[in-house]
Amino acid sequence: MMQQYRAYLVGENGVFRSAEAFEAPSDSSALSFARQYTRHGKVEVWQLGRKIAVLDPEPSPPDALTRQ
């Protein structure tokens, strides 16, 4: 059975900047799906009123800094 989840992108000030609603069959599947948003920053994953996890941002590849 699929469950409703939301992935919230957390701004530097701790305020939610955006949210993405999605469905997943389990918490672990939801976390795997939500990891794609960590390229934009810290992500909180919720299932209704239950916080599943806080995912830290993806680190930038070392060579990306030298290309700027």
Could you give the CA distance from residue 43 to residue 16 in angstroms, rounded to a whole number?
9
pLDDT at 59: 76
The answer to whether the CB of 25 falls within 8 A of the CB of 2 is: yes
pLDDT at 57: 92
pLDDT at 35: 96
Cα-Cα-Cα-Cα dihedral sign, residues 56, 58, 62, 66: negative
Query: For residue 25, what are the contacts with CB-CB under 8 A and spacing of at least 6?
Result: 1, 2, 3
The tens digit of pLDDT for each residue in 2-59 reads: 999 999 999 988 889 999 999 999 999 999 999 999 999 999 999 999 999 999 997 7
